[in-house]
Each structure stands twice: as structure tokens, then as C-alpha cells.
């Protein structure tokens, strides 16, 4: 019996590729070219008009592509998201720990995007930013392709103000507030980041909200939005976030322990709506306990 499939949508990123096939292979480096060729041959990759494409279909930046991927028997994530706000342009969701925002690795249906797409009966939902699977908190989704660029510009122009909270070991020798700057580069294995030499490309403002013996509650205000930035910056200071299996040391063969979530929460989003001019602020309903 064939595996069930899940439909996903991708707006092709900027790049030098001659064909859509080349772009897909580069963008999803963990998926073999043979797999993409087979999907195209099987009519499982569609253009913006819902028509199957061929292997020589020309690449174009921003082109909307729909593709179907096989869904293995996924382990259900036993936590539910909460929709805090929804209108014709935006959805704001409170994501639980352990739930991926978008399909990745072994997760396709057990993702925030898949759940919301089903709830709102829409294939057009696109997350405007990402948070790690192990991180909980707010994620903003675009509903309509026609207004998406206006909201995406808020992140590119850094007019979206994000606040995170973390619980981590005490740092009595660091003066707070503290602005941590560093150059983040790819680490080993491929899914990790590390700090390297050169001009800083990442910034996080940090403060202390509460002291509880050997553990402190920190407010984190990212200026930039690099992958794993907050987790790496805290670890670099000597205070890896509680229950982090990646930083400062990779826990090999780690499995999800639902009793020990990563103590990191995307707590608030504040911005001026680019369409209405209304000041908006959303607060997560989730809490980090000690």
C-alpha cells in the first residue's frame, strides 16, 4: 500500500538555478535529486496554475510551486496549538514545545503549518518567521499571497519586535543588560551553529527578570534572527538554556522527553500593521516553569 501524501507549497527563493528541479534539489539538500525527479515524473510537483511541471521547467524567483511528499507513520505530538488571532491577512498561533512549524525530517502532518492549513481549509498559509521545533510560543502566518510581502518586509527591515524568555543557569559575573554580538557560522554536524571569527552578524540583548538560586529567568530580545541564535548566544556566555540537547554540547541520539521541554519561549510580538497602520501586540499564553 502506498504511503499517504501531504501537499506543501514553496515560493522559490532567489538563486542561480536554470530549472525548478535544480532549485528544489538545492533548497531541500537532504532530499535526493532522484526523489525529486520521481515526484515530477509522477505529477507530484505543480506550478502556480495547478499543472504538473516537467524536469526542464524554467526557474523563476517567487514562483509558487506545490509539491506532494510521502508521509511516514508519524509519532503524534501530544500538545495542541492555540490560535490567538485570525483575520483575512494574518493568523497568530501559540505553538507548543516539540511541534515543528513546517515539514522537516520525519515530521509532515505533525507540524503547525499542516494543522492550521487543515483548520482553516487553506493551502495558502505561509509562516512569516520560524522558531525551533523545541521552542514554544508565537508564530505569525500570512493568509493571502497578495498581502504577504508587506508583512515579510517587517522582518527584513527589523520593525517586528520580538521578545523571548528563557530559563538558564545564573551568570553572576555578567553585567546586565548585556548585548551579545558574534559571528555565527555553520557548525558540525550540519544542523548546529557555532561562533567564529570575523564581523558579527548576530545580536541579542539580554536582561535578567527573576533570580531563583542557580537558575535565572532571562528576557531575550533578538536584534537579528539567525538559526539557533538565542540558544547559541546563551551557551556562549556559559549558561546553556535548560534542557537544550544541542548547546553547549550535543546530546547524541537524543529522543524527545516531553517532561523536559526546552526552557525557551517566544513570548511576544509587537509591530505596526503595514496595511492598517494599527499598533499590534500579541502575548503568548504559555509559561515557563522552573
Residue spans of the domains in the chain: they are 5-70, 82-157+271-279, 163-264
pLDDT at 21: 95
- In the block, residue with C-alpha cell 521547467: 57
Asked whether the beta carbons of 90 and 142 are under 8 A apart, the reply is yes
Asked whether the beta carbons of 63 and 12 are under 8 A apart, the reply is yes
Per cent of the chain over pLDDT 70 is 96
Architecture of domain 163-264 in this structure: 2-Layer Sandwich (3.30)
> What is the average pLDDT score of the chain?
92
- The least confident of 2-11, 76-85, 176-185, 243-252 is 2-11
Cell numbers found for residue 82 = 492555540
pLDDT at 7 over 80: no
Q: What is the C-alpha separation between 13 and 168, in angstroms, rounded?
A: 36
Higher pLDDT, 172 or 123: 172
pLDDT at 233: 98
Q: What are the beta bridge partners of residue 212?
A: 215
* Average pLDDT value for residue range 150-156: 94
Q: How confident is the model at residue 5 (pLDDT cuts 50, 70, 90)?
A: low
Topology alike, domains 82-157+271-279 and 163-264: yes
Q: What is the C-alpha separation between 148 and 248, in angstroms, rounded?
A: 36
Q: How confident is the model at residue 51 (pLDDT cuts 50, 70, 90)?
A: confident
- Kindly report, residue by residue over 117-130, the tens digit of the pLDDT: 999 998 889 999 99
Cell numbers found for residue 239 = 549558561
Q: How confident is the model at residue 9 (pLDDT cuts 50, 70, 90)?
A: confident
Q: Which long-range contacts (CB under 8 A, 24 or more apart) does 275-279 make?
A: 275/89, 275/147, 275/150
The CATH class that applies to domain 5-70 reads alpha beta
* Average pLDDT value for residue range 197-211: 97
* Average pLDDT value for residue range 228-250: 97
Q: How confident is the model at residue 221 (pLDDT cuts 50, 70, 90)?
A: very high
* Average pLDDT value for residue range 69-89: 87
* Average pLDDT value for residue range 69-93: 89
CB atoms within 10 A of CB 117: 19
Residue 258 φ/ψ, nearest 5 degrees: -65, -15
- Kindly report, residue by residue over 277-286, the tens digit of the pLDDT: 999 999 999 9
Architecture of domain 82-157+271-279 in this structure: 2-Layer Sandwich (3.30)
Q: Which residues contact 255 (CB under 8 A, 6 or more apart)?
A: none
What 3-state DSSP class applies to 266?
A: strand
pLDDT at 258 over 60: yes
Q: How confident is the model at residue 147 (pLDDT cuts 50, 70, 90)?
A: very high
* Average pLDDT value for residue range 138-155: 95
Asked whether the beta carbons of 35 and 24 are under 8 A apart, the reply is no
pLDDT at 107 over 80: no
Q: How confident is the model at residue 1 (pLDDT cuts 50, 70, 90)?
A: very low
Amino acid at each position: 500500500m502506498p504511503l499517504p501524501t501531504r501537499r506543501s507549497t514553496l515560493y522559490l527563493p532567489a538563486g542561480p538555478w536554470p530549472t525548478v528541479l535544480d532549485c528544489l534539489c538545492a533548497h531541500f539538500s537532504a532530499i535526493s535529486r532522484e526523489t525529486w525527479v520521481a515526484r515530477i515524473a509522477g505529477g507530484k510537483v505543480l506550478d502556480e496554475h495547478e499543472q504538473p511541471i516537467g524536469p526542464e521547467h524554467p526557474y523563476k524567483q517567487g514562483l509558487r510551486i506545490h509539491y506532494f511528499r510521502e508521509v511516514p507513520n508519524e509519532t503524534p505530538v501530544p500538545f495542541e496549538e492555540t490560535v490567538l488571532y485570525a483575520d483575512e491577512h494574518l493568523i497568530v498561533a501559540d505553538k507548543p514545545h516539540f511541534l515543528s512549524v513546517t515539514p522537516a525530517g520525519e515530521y509532515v502532518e505533525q507540524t503547525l503549518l499542516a494543522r492550521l492549513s487543515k483548520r482553516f481549509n487553506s493551502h495558502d498559509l505561509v509562516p512569516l518567521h520560524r522558531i525551533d521545533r523545541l521552542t514554544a510560543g508565537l508564530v505569525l502566518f500570512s493568509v493571502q499571497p497578495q498581502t504577504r510581502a508587506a508583512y515579510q518586509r517587517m522582518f527584513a527591515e527589523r520593525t517586528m519586535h520580538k521578545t523571548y524568555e528563557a530559563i538558564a543557569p545564573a551568570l553572576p559575573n555578567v553585567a546586565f543588560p548585556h548585548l551579545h554580538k558574534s559571528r555565527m557560522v555553520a557548525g558540525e554536524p550540519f544542523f548546529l551553529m557555532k561562533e567564529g571569527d570575523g564581523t558579527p552578524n548576530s545580536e541579542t540583548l539580554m536582561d535578567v527578570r527573576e533570580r531563583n538560586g542557580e537558575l535565572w529567568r532571562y528576557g531575550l530580545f533578538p536584534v537579528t534572527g539567525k538559526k539557533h541564535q538565542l540558544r547559541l548566544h546563551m551557551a556562549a556566555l556559559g549558561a546553556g538554556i535548560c534542557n537544550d540537547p544541542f548547546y553547549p554540547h550535543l546530546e547524541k541520539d537524543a529522543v524527545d522527553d516531553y517532561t523536559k521541554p526546552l526552557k525557551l519561549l517566544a513570548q511576544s510580538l509587537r509591530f505596526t500593521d503595514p496595511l492598517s497602520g494599527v499598533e499590534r501586540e500579541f502575548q503568548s499564553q504559555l509559561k515557563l516553569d522552573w
